[in-house]
Chains A and B, each alone.
Chain A
Amino acid sequence: MLFPTVTFAIFFLIVLPLNWLTMHNPRNWRIMMLVASYLFYAWWDPWLVLLLAGSTLFNQLIAVRIFKAGAPRARKALLWVGIAGNLAFLGWFKYWNFFAGSAQDAAGTLGIQLDPGFVAVVLPVGISFYTFMALSYIIDTWRGTYEPVSLSRFAVFLSFFPHLVAGPIVRPAELIPQFDNPPDPREVDATRGFALILGGLFLKVVLASTCAKLVDPVFGSPKLHSAPEVLLAIYAYAVQIFADFAGYSTIAIGVALLLGFRFPDNFNSPYRATSVQDFWRRWHMTLSRWLRDYLYIPLGGNRGSRFETERNLMLTMVIGGLWHGANWTFLFWGALHGSALIVERLARGRRTAAGKPPMRKWLAWLITFNFVCFAWIFFRAETFGQALSVIERLFTGWGQGSPAISLGVLAAVATGIGIQFLPVNFWADFQARVSRFPYYAQGAAAGFLLMVINVLGPAGVAPFIYFQF
């Protein structure tokens, strides 16, 4: 079930009252929410529910066993079984064909024809998100920072439909306690919830879909496009992927808020970052902190030598890149960001040592933004050849017409970048003003804005990019 559909609107109109009617009885609420979330997930393909249920049972079993095991060695062994199980689960569905294909290519260059046994599996939607959430649960249990909860609580945590298919990646300690401390039904932060849902829809339906109209043909056949078209398409992709993913996250946070639950923010104006480190504090924040807490710091973080710190940074970013998809281009994208973080670290150290002031903010922004956009080329391209073709056209495609550049795409790119620079309190102030209106007026205004969003979006909304991750 997709958020921007009539099906979801009907689903939510049923689930919302059931949510508040059962809230006073946590057990009934959990049953209701579990059924609703599994129905939401089964809408894609009913068999996916079996995978989700299997992951839930496996991780609950591991967490309980870790908690009950006394000996540290036994606890650690169980943790590794849990991690291996989750990674095998993810690896089979997401990475098997990639590794098998890479092995086949490598064997082919040696003149060996290899049949590694490719599997015909469709990537289950949301698998990367809920697997990472399940890993949080067992690792936090092992660390002793969180105690396992009942199976029904954990099942609702993992399957809670607002975050199920594309995050945010929520921690057990952030969400599960909210299940047992029901929010006050007299004080729902509905104005913010409605604003987030409408804002997310605007990002997805209008900005992302409009940008896709230029991005898809340019990346499909870069040689047939002029350098200005290619340049604009690169910036348009930066806006598209932000609007697509931040749009989904924003809707998810808004939907959860109407149900009475708070999710952590996932984006904070990432394109106003003045360094790559700053960018990763603003982009997909729940993934960044997951990688920091469950990978970078356990690897040693910045506690070791300079080499070890740089190695840890690079490993974290490369694995983060591969999390996005089973392709060498994703791995390279991660390595590009890892390299940039290392270079930044070195440069910062040298400047500090030399007693020089930090780089001017506008220059730092310009460099960061263009680096991030450049790296997106490899993220978007399906092959290195395609990425290199795009880059080549930037240098060779001047002096010809650019009919693919439309006012709509220019406006979408300008809006997508411009909204990053709105004052920090802009939306909070706006919501505070709107919340003074009576609820029925807010509902009617939301309906009108839904119509405007629907009309402004081009025909046919492209699928959510992050669903494939």
Chain B
Amino acid sequence: MPAGHVLVALFIGLVVAALLNAQGMHKQALAQGPGIGRDIAGTLTAGLAGVSGIFQIDQPRKLLKAALGRSGDDKLVGKLAITAKGPKAPAAPTKPVYSAAKPMGLYLTGDSLITDPGPVLLDKISTNPAIKPLGVTDAHAATGLVQPEIFNWFDYLPQQIKALRPDMTVATFGANDGLGFTGVAGAEEFGTPAWLAEYARRVAGVMDSITAKGGQLVMLGLPIPSDPALAARWAKMNEIQKSEAEKRKGLVAYVDLFDKLKDAKGNYADFLPDASGQLQRARSSDGIHYEPLGATIVTDAIIDAINELATVPGLGAQPAAPPGAAPVAR
């Protein structure tokens, strides 16, 4: 085939693919962070999706998606189904008591930051008859509350809570939320008063939907990351999570992972002392996720928080990490 024909064939192929996939591309374009790239991609793909829709070119994709039972994949998120009803007052007066006869249904969910502590926690409680894990760790990496286009927690969580009826949920959100809001309704840069208010509304919505059926929630704050700029963003988001958790005292316990994962000098550290005082790698090379020791520290903090909310036989308070070991520079 002559090179000129190759170029034309390639161009035709990409245009055909773009028209057939226009709905999915438009959704993906809107899922980008605010900025000129998102604006251009959003406008271009909106036009493409319009043309595709008018001439019914989007039908093969729709039919194929329907045949696979995934018709909702391309649906754009308009108004969020946030069920925040505000904090319940008074908070749960007494701690629920669980036993082998009445085990605590435990549900673990969130973004990738639950991926490492989840299995460690499930392993630790695997022989405790007073705790019944509800499935495995329900992690959805690269998701959060800011980009429902990528994964809509506001639709997903109420369905999960209704289906599983957990007594205790351990959740973490926010690692992918240090961005501006996006969506069909427009975009808002991170950190503006409007952003902070909307994020608080979303965090409250998540907390209320998890506790709506009477369950309790351990809300894991974001761990201190290695990047100072990211740490500043996450500190703001942690403030919101902590504040919303305090409004729901007795139902929601907030776990401060900035403190738990700092070194003796109060800074981010890749290496932290383990239970015997030996320095071990606690954080992944990305400065965000956990190595086994980090996951264990988080797990111990979760167990403490569960004990704060409920009485579970055999789930003793966790020993504090030995203090004062010298930090190791990154």
**Residues of A that sit less than 8 Å from B by CB:** 6, 9, 12-13, 16-17, 20, 97, 101, 104, 108, 113, 115, 117-120, 122-123, 185-191, 193-194, 217, 220-221, 223-225, 258, 260, 383, 404, 435, 439-440, 442-448, 450-452, 454-456, 459-460
Stretch in contact with the other chain, from B57-65, B154-162, B168-176: B57-65
**Contact yes or no, B9 A443, CB < 8 A:** yes
Smallest CB gap from B73: residue in A: A459
Cα separation A456 to B21 with both chains bound (whole Å): 12
Other A-B pairs, 13, CB within 8 Å; known A120-B285, A185-B3, A443-B8: A20-B4, A118-B271, A122-B285, A220-B136, A221-B136, A439-B6, A443-B11, A444-B16, A447-B15, A447-B20, A448-B16, A451-B17, A456-B64
Interface residues of B, count at CB 8 A: 53
Cβ 8 A contact of B278, one of A16, A108, A117, A122: A108
Shortest Cβ distance from B136 into chain A, in angstroms? 5
Instruction: Give A448 Cβ to nearest chain B Cβ, in Å.
Output: 6
What is the chain B residue whose CB lies nearest that of A442? B9
Residue among A108, A450, A452 making CB contact with B13, cutoff 8 Å: A450
Give the nearest-CB partner of A117 in chain B. Answer: B329
Residues of A within 8 A of B286 (CB): 122
Please, which residue of chain A has its CB at the minimum distance from the CB of B29? A6
Interfacial chain A residues near B21, Cβ < 8 Å: 450-451, 454
Pairwise interchain contact B137-A16, C-beta atoms closer than 8 A? no
B115 interface residue per 8 A CB criterion: yes
Name the B residues within 8 Å of A443 (CB-CB). 8-13, 16
Contact, CB under 8 Å: B119 / A447: no
What is the CA–CA distance of A185 and B20 in the complex, to the nearest angstrom? 31
Q: Which residues of A contact B142 (CB under 8 A)?
A: 460
Which of B12, B24, B122 is A447 in contact with, Cβ under 8 Å? B12
Q: A113-B278, A444-B12 are in contact. Are A439 and B285 (CB under 8 A)?
A: no
Q: Are A447's CB and B14's CB within 8 A?
A: yes
Closest to B273 in A: A113
B75 on interface, CB distance cutoff 8 Å: no
Distance A447 CA – B22 CA, assembled complex (angstroms): 12
Residues of B within 8 A of A17 (CB): 7
Residues of chain B with a CB closer than 8 A to A225's CB: 136
> Which residues of B, 98-129, contact A by the 8 Å Cβ criterion?
115, 118-119, 122-123, 126
Given known A-B contacts A217-B136, A450-B13, A455-B61, A16 and B7 have beta carbons under 8 A apart = yes
Q: Which residue of A lies closest to B274 (CB)?
A: A108
> Cβ of B73: which chain A residues have Cβ within 8 Å of it?
459
Which chain B residues numbered 267 to 294 have a C-beta less than 8 Å away from chain A? 270-271, 278-279, 281, 285-287, 292
B contact residues around A444 at 8 Å (CB):
12-13, 16
B185 interface residue (CB < 8 Å to A): no
Let me know if B330 is at the binding interface, CB within 8 A: yes
The 10 closest A-B pairs by CB, nearest first: A447-B16, A443-B12, A443-B9, A221-B119, A450-B17, A451-B20, A446-B13, A20-B3, A120-B330, A185-B3
Please, which residues of chain A bring their CB within 8 A of the CB of B279?
104, 113, 115
Q: Which residues of B contact A108 (CB under 8 A)?
A: 278
Q: Which residue of A lies closest to B138 (CB)?
A: A217
Is B25 an interface position by the 8 A CB rule?
yes
Given A6-B25, A191-B1, A460-B142, A220:B17 Cβ within 8 A: no
The answer on a CB contact under 8 Å between B330 and A440 is no
Given contacts A16-B7, A188-B6, A439-B1, contact A9 B14 (CB under 8 A): yes
Chain B residues lying within 8 Å of A459, measured Cβ to Cβ, are 73
Q: A450-B21, A455-B61 are in contact. Are A118 and B328 (CB under 8 A)?
A: yes
Q: Are A258 and B60 in contact (CB under 8 A)?
A: no
Say whether B5 faces chain A, with CB atoms less than 8 Å apart.
yes
B226 within 8 A of A: yes
Nearest neighbor of B41 in chain A, beta-carbon distance: A6
Q: Which residue from A101, A113, A220 sits with its C-beta under 8 Å from B281? A: A101
- Measured CB to CB, the closest approach of chain A to B236, in angstroms, equals 25
- Return B239 CB to nearest CB of chain A, in Å: 27
| B133 touches A (CB below 8 Å) | yes
In the complex, B229 has a CB within 8 A of chain A: no
Whether the pair A439, B118 counts as a contact (CB closer than 8 A) is no
* Residue picked from A123, A191, A258, A439, most chain B C-beta under 10 Å: A439
CB of B68 within 8 Å of the partner chain: yes
Query: Within 8 Å of chain A (Cβ to Cβ): is B2?
Result: yes
Residues of B within 8 A of A117 (CB): 329
Q: Is the CB of A118 within 8 A of B270?
A: yes
Q: Is the CB of A16 within 8 A of B10?
A: yes
> Which residues of the other chain, A, contact B4 by a CB distance below 8 angstroms?
20
Q: How far is the CA of A221 from the CA of B285 in the complex (A)?
A: 21
A120/B6 in contact, CB under 8 A: no
Partner of B14, one of A13, A118, A258: A13
Q: Are B11 and A13 in contact (CB under 8 A)?
A: yes
Q: How far is the CA of A117 from the CA of B3 in the complex (A)?
A: 54
Instruction: Kindly state the separation between the CA atoms of A221 and B64 in the bound complex, as whole angstroms.
Output: 33
Asked, given contacts A113-B279, A120-B330, whether A190 binds B9 with beta carbons under 8 Å apart, the answer is yes
Question: Given the complex, which residues of B lie within 8 Å of A122, measured CB to CB?
Answer: 285-286
B330 contacts A118, C-beta separation under 8 Å: yes
Q: Find chain A residues with CB under 8 A from B126 CB.
A: 223
Q: How far is the CB of A123 from chain B (nearest CB, A)?
A: 8
Q: How far is it, in angstroms, between the C-alpha of A16 and the C-alpha of B8 when the chains are bound?
A: 11
Neighbouring B residues of A186 by C-beta, 8 Å: 2-3
- Asked if A188 and B20 sit within 8 Å, CB to CB, the answer is no
CA distance A404 to B330 in the complex (A): 39
Please determine whether A188 and B328 come into contact, CB atoms closer than 8 angstroms: no
- Asked if residues B9 and A451 are in contact (CB atoms below 8 Å), the reply is no
Which A residues lie within 8 Å of B18 (CB)? 447
User: Contacts A6-B25, A120-B270, A451-B17 known; A188 to B2 CB distance under 8 Å?
Assistant: yes
Q: Which residue of A lies closest to B285 (CB)?
A: A122
Residue A16 contacts which of B6, B15, B60, B118 (CB distance < 8 angstroms)?
B6
Q: Is the CB of B136 within 8 A of A190?
A: no
A439 adjacent to B8 (CB under 8 Å):
yes
Residues of A within 8 A of B64 (CB): 451-452, 455-456
Which of A97, A217, A454 is B24 in contact with, Cβ under 8 Å?
A454
Complex contact A188–B15 (CB within 8 A): no
Identity of the chain A residue whose Cβ is nearest the Cβ of B143 in the assembled complex = A460
- Nearest residue (CB) in B for A460 is B142
Nearest residue, chain A, Cβ from B24: A454
Which chain A residues border B8 with CB–CB below 8 Å? 439-440, 443
Binary CB contact string for chain B from 19 to 59 against chain A (1 if under 8 A, 0 otherwise): 11100110000000000000000000000000000000000
Min CB distance, A186 to chain B, in Å? 5
A439 and B122 form a contact (CB under 8 A): no
Contacts of B141 in A (CB 8 A): 460
- Residue among A224, A258, A440 with most chain B CB within 10 A: A224
A115 in contact with B328 (CB, 8 Å)? yes
By the criterion CB–CB under 8 Å, are B136 and A194 in contact? no
- A444 CA / B18 CA spacing, docked (Å): 11
Q: Which residues of A contact B14 (CB under 8 A)?
A: 9, 13, 447, 450
User: CA A444 – CA B20 in complex, angstroms?
Assistant: 11
A220 to B121, CA, bound (A): 12
